[in-house]
Structure 1
């Protein structure tokens, strides 16, 4: 089965269930018909992510590189780089441990305040209009504003960084130039923090006992930024959509907050921002889910499909505090502690501030008109148009 095309956006859940009929692990073709394995069984995804000695992250292990064109659209996901993403064993533990330590120092109360201020600033920009696109004008912006702050970037640099990040995600000639500017900005930031360290993530990485080089710090700062921006932004957007279209969660829009956390968790089960992850590479010949996997084979982790596995998926609306989903990955190469907790603080705070500021917000279109971006990897809306009673800006 070809795992690309329009159906990914139209009905990903249906597609995953069709694939599941062939078993928990099945052969697929990625873009340009490059072969891989797609893992949709929860137990199988858990097994892979729990055994990095059998299923590793270094993409140079791939046995199909001779079939991959240089212009392959998925090259940004699999092209090896000296980042924490592709590190293994002790090297990965050294780098990921430093990142986790640098993030864990963040005071959660201060992080909440940073997020509240960022959300208020963004809402101020459209509060008087009575209409807004909560994807472009809010959900995708909040994580970047927060990341820039905890990175210790000067306030004046934040709008430029936000613009460059937006352009880097486009599939045109602007993307490469934007990537170059972001990389250069991180290099300059690390240099500045050597001279003027502060209570920020880059300064903590520089001072960490892991002895990171400046090159390692720069590329890992970029990894953390990318991993935080799109998934957290889509988590906010997908949750706002759920709360605006689903009666079960609309009580929050009527003045209560109790269901924000529940809605966030429901989205991780049903419309998780990171749908699939590419990937792992088999270290040895092995058997998985009744399939014979060869050394060097690529396995794509179907995180959304694993969440929908009938053996583990809670009934709709009954997810509650069940956090056994695979939305943050699992194991050594899952989203590192405490990143999931910090992402939840950002998402929850952003939504609560929005509902406090715009209590009568509602969809400006029929819910069926909302369109998902056609991506195999990320689940997010093109836009989320809403209307509300215009209100005055505030300063915080």
Structure 2
């Protein structure tokens, strides 16, 4: 894989950039600006083990890549670097090969699969969804409200989305805590990550088998009722992907939005019962601090050009979602396109984007989670200086490692909302 421009010259400036390091944690916005200045809209990067790839930084270029699934395919089997990828390569689960999930299907089969998932999620009653989110949010707050302090990330944000999703799928309430532990262990690479993956896989497979025998009004049953001919294994894989993709970004959306509201005076009114600013803060996070920063990826199906670069067949392109959101060519006077504008890339674009019903589910869970905690703990405030807050050291998902807060102790609702 040659890092050259379309006219055969060497890169616009500097060497390929390792996709990692502390700057993705401390100052990603400045890092993306530097990459754009030095390399243009498409930058050469190195993944773990010095594996080469292209990082698409430009808004228009990312729109082109995600809008052309034939030229820029989701089929990881096209990758020219497979001969040099070891079996223990740390990014292998993210890239995938031969996995029977929606992430790696293409063409008509992908469209059928996406339709099955969208239809199953679209049938979720929005009032019931909000009710589930309120219920679990209240339970989590009941566990901390008498203490007067807590870590919103560990004790709230990373516990809420999966509980709601598990209920939508059809899991019994008592199975929820085990799924929370398993999924958080998997996502955060903890010592029990493998055990967590096995627990999630076995739990999902059992639920699919049960619903095949006895359908109910839930997401799993609706996917099984689809007539596109997908196997139980394929449906199980899709359900696992949906739960993982829905949980961590939504948890980070909650944490990042609450951080913004607690540190920016523009959103102070929301802490005293306002609601309009909650939606504004959530939308600004999607533009400025999106939970999913970069995504792998797309593979060129033939030689082409992109952003002044010569892209070879089999090259890997990484989707720089946050970099594209901050592209100065799509900004207004350098400011965020907030105030309801949703032309960001935080949910992707094109036929491989996050399905619209899934986006709506995530938004309801996140917004409900934020509104409930502001209702229950109206004097919520940071317990540490804002500048001391730290982020997950990852170029892929951006979220807080913790969000310590304090508040006036209050009593639990005991399952009854006022």
- TM (norm. structure 1) is 0.98
Which among 287, 303, 320 is matched to residue 285 of structure 1? Answer: 303
1:374 to 390, 393, 396: 393
How many residues are aligned here?
396
Mapped pair 1:11 → 2:27: yes
Say which SS state the counterpart of residue 150 (structure 2) adopts: strand
Distance (Å, rounded) in 1 between the aligned partners of 2:355 and 2:336: 28
Point out the more displaced range, 252-261 or 65-74.
65-74
Per the alignment, residue 18 of structure 2 pairs with 2
Flag structure 1 segments of 5+ consecutive residues without an equivalent.
none
Are residue 36 (structure 1) and residue 56 (structure 2) matched?
no
Look up the match of 1:96.
114
Q: Is residue 387 of structure 1 aligned with residue 406 of structure 2?
A: yes
- What residue is the counterpart of 2:6 in the other structure? none
Asked if 1:113 corresponds to 2:126, the answer is: no
For 1:120 and 1:171, locate their aligned partners in 2 and report how far apart those are by CA, in whole Å. 28
Q: Is the 8 A contact 1:24 1:289 kept in 2?
A: yes
* C-alpha deviation, 1:318, in angstroms: 5.5
Q: Is 1:165 aligned to residue 183 of structure 2?
A: yes
1:222 paired to 2:256: no
- After TM superposition, the structure 1 = structure 2 runs for residues 156-195 of structure 1, keeping only pairs within 5 Å, are 156-195=174-213
Distance in 2, Cα, partners of 1:110 & 1:64 = 47
Taking a change above 3 Å as real, the CA distance of residues 172 and 144 of structure 1, as seen in their structure-2 partners, is closer
In 2, Cα distance between the equivalents of 1:28 and 1:313?
25
| RMSD, aligned α-carbons | 1.1
Give distance in 1, aligned partners of 2:191 and 2:343. Answer: 41
Instruction: Report the Cα offset of residue 2 of structure 1.
Output: 1.3
Residue 173 of structure 1 and its aligned partner are, at CA, apart by 4.0
1:205–1:212: 8 Å Cα contact kept in structure 2? no
1:345 to 2:364 alignment = yes
Distance in 2, matches of 1:111 and 1:351, equals 15
- Any stretches of 5+ residues in structure 2 without a counterpart? 1-16
Shift of 1:69: 2.4
**Secondary structure of 2:253's aligned partner:** helix
The runs of at least 4 consecutive aligned structure 1 residues that moved more than 6 Å come to none
1:304 to 310, 322, 330: 322
Is the contact made by 1:129 and 1:390 (CA closer than 8 Å) also made in structure 2? yes
Q: Secondary structure at the match of 1:230?
A: helix
Q: Output one character per residue of 1:54-93: Cα deviation in whole Å (capped at 9) or x when no partner.
A: 1011111100112222222111111221110010001101
Name the SS of the counterpart of 1:29 in structure 2.
strand
* Aligned-partner Cα distance in 1 for 2:160–2:177: 12
For 1:290-325, what per-residue CA distance to the aligned partner results, in whole angstroms no more than 9, with x for missing partners?
110000000001000000001113454661001110
Deviation at 1:217, TM superposition (A): 0.8
Match of 1:76 in 2: 93
Q: Compute the displacement of 1:211 (Å).
A: 2.5
Residues 318/79 of structure 1: CA separation in 2 closer, same or farther (3 Å cut): closer
